[in-house]
Amino acid sequence: MPERIHIIIDKEEPLAEELQQGIHDVLLPNNSIELFFYQADIQLATFKDESIDRLKEKEFTDEDMLEVQIRPSLMREESMSFERVLAGPPPERDRAFIKVIYECIAEQRKAWDIPKKDFVLLLTPKGNDYNKFSSFRAYPNPDGFIQTSDWEYFTNTAIWYPISYLILELLLKLKGFGSLRKSLAFQHTSPRGCINDQLDSKKDFHQKIRIADTCDDCLEVMMKNGLSASLLISISNIFDTIRKQSRFLNQHILTTAKSDLIINQEGILIFQDFESISLRLPPIERTLYVFLLKRQNGLNSFDFTDYKQELTQLYLRFRNQDTKTAASVITKLVDPRENSLQEKISKINKSIKSLLQAENRYAPYLIKNQQGMYVISLDPSCVHIHESLR
């Protein structure tokens, strides 16, 4: 049975839609994890950074009180200074008590009728009184939260990469240690590149995500506690993707400005010289991109109708549908009276920009309109399309 994770995204997060799509693309497809997304107006009683006044110890559960080891002043610390990370400190941010955050999650469980044993995560731009990027609890229900704001001060990856990492980290700790208390009992005070390293400062998070690993000591404990090998393998594979992305984006902006582009038999884009990071576009967008890659001189928007059959056959390679349904999707795509073609091109370009970040990196791979012709201006010698798609 896959682990069921319910992700509730606070609508106050400006990038809610992009964040949901990004997490989906990073974590799926995965036979060990099943994701459910919700967007909601999250109402939390908050206070300002400068007015921290903690609740008394007796008002917290044991697991809530374990948060007191974290200093309250970290939110406005200086960020680390490597390429394209904003200089700190981050702006003052409204915060909520962790107890209030968990009460809100309990309300959302009821509102969405989420099963008691399923893991629920709240993603919100609001901070918390102990300035944690994230945390979780096992009792009375498996719940957790992740702060979505201010990541640009601590890492230069798209925000869904560190947030996806934290989703997996919290899941591993929940399934492998069983509770926050037990997780902290095995926490490493000296960093070793493990998910269970203690972070004395938020600015150290980039070191953790660039290694994205689990040490042998923690693995032994988690496996003894019942962590399934299949879940561990699945998460390790995703960690590898996140690690490559992080390493790539921490290279100097002028390093390896262009990469060979490999299209595998599933139509996934692999940027070979950019740490082999990959982009899995939705089937219809994948179809359009591979189709245009095969046409060095580009194609006029009015000429797409002449290739309906080829596009349909290519689309069926990426989407398990009957031919009639696939043909109707392609008919809408190539119809010059519709806006479908332009919408798909816009989404493709947006995905490529989000992945590669810097203009000198993503520019060669974009679909451009040059004098009425849609074209991808890549040197053909840099493009390697799987023989089954040629």
Q: Report pLDDT digits (tens) over 227-243.
A: 998 898 888 888 887 77
At 69 the pLDDT is: 37
Q: Grade residue 277 by pLDDT with cuts at 50, 70 and 90.
A: confident
Strand order in the sheet with 127-128: 46-47, 95-96, 127-128
Q: Grade residue 246 by pLDDT with cuts at 50, 70 and 90.
A: low
Contact 58, 202 (CB under 8 A): no
| 244-248, 275-279, 329-333, 335-339, range with the lowest pLDDT | 244-248
| 2-6, 148-152, 372-376, range with the lowest pLDDT | 148-152
| 53-67, 137-151, 271-285, 367-381, range with the lowest pLDDT | 53-67
At 241 the pLDDT is: 78
At 327 the pLDDT is: 92
Strand order in the sheet with 277-279: 277-279, 269-271, 261-263, 383-385
| Angle at the Cα of 249 from the Cα atoms of 246 and 255, rounded to 5 degrees | 135
192 contacts: CB under 8 Å, gap ≥ 6: 215
What are the structure tokens assigned to 160, written together?
């869904």
| 57-61, 149-153, 187-191, range with the lowest pLDDT | 57-61
Q: Grade residue 256 by pLDDT with cuts at 50, 70 and 90.
A: low
pLDDT tens-digit series, residues 10-20: 999 988 988 89
Distance (Å, rounded) from C-alpha 76 to C-alpha 74? Answer: 6
Instruction: Give the alpha-carbon dihedral of 224, 4, 102, 42, to 10 degrees.
Output: 160
Residue 118, number of CB atoms within 10 A of its CB? 16
The enclosing H or E element of 145 equals strand 143-147
Say whether pLDDT at 332 is over 80: yes
At 155 the pLDDT is: 72
| 80-84, 90-94, 185-189, 385-389, range with the lowest pLDDT | 80-84
Q: Grade residue 152 by pLDDT with cuts at 50, 70 and 90.
A: confident
Note if the bond before 14 is cis, omega within 30 degrees: no
Say whether pLDDT at 312 is over 90: yes
Q: DSSP state, 295?
A: -
Using DSSP bridges, classify how beta strands 269-271 and 277-279 pair: parallel, antiparallel or unpaired.
antiparallel
pLDDT tens-digit series, residues 284-307: 999 999 999 998 888 998 899 999
Identify which has the larger pLDDT, 246 or 274.
Answer: 274
Distance (Å, rounded) from C-alpha 183 to C-alpha 333? Answer: 51
Most distant pair of Cα atoms in the chain: their distance: 72
Identify which has the larger pLDDT, 122 or 91.
Answer: 122
Say whether pLDDT at 53 is over 80: no
Say whether pLDDT at 205 is over 70: no
By percentage, how much of the chain surpasses pLDDT 90?
42
What are the structure tokens assigned to 142, written together?
């498996």
Identify which has the larger pLDDT, 281 or 366.
Answer: 366
| 71-75, 152-156, 313-317, 382-386, range with the lowest pLDDT | 71-75
Homologous superfamily of 3-249 in CATH? Collagenase (Catalytic Domain) (3.40.390.10)
257 contacts: CB under 8 Å, gap ≥ 6: 360, 361
Identify which has the larger pLDDT, 54 or 135.
Answer: 135
Identify which has the larger pLDDT, 193 or 217.
Answer: 217
Delimit the domains of the chain by residue range.
3-249, 261-389
pLDDT tens-digit series, residues 62-114: 454 444 333 333 333 333 333 345 666 777 778 899 999 999 999 999 999 99
| 48-57, 66-75, 303-312, range with the lowest pLDDT | 66-75
Q: For 20-43, what is the mean pLDDT?
A: 90
Quote the mean pLDDT of the chain.
Answer: 82
Tell me the range of 53-62, 117-126, 247-256, 264-273 where mean pLDDT is highest.
117-126
Q: For 167-176, what is the mean pLDDT?
A: 94
Q: DSSP state, 76?
A: G
Q: Which residues are 34's β-sheet partners?
A: 4
Q: Grade residue 39 by pLDDT with cuts at 50, 70 and 90.
A: very high
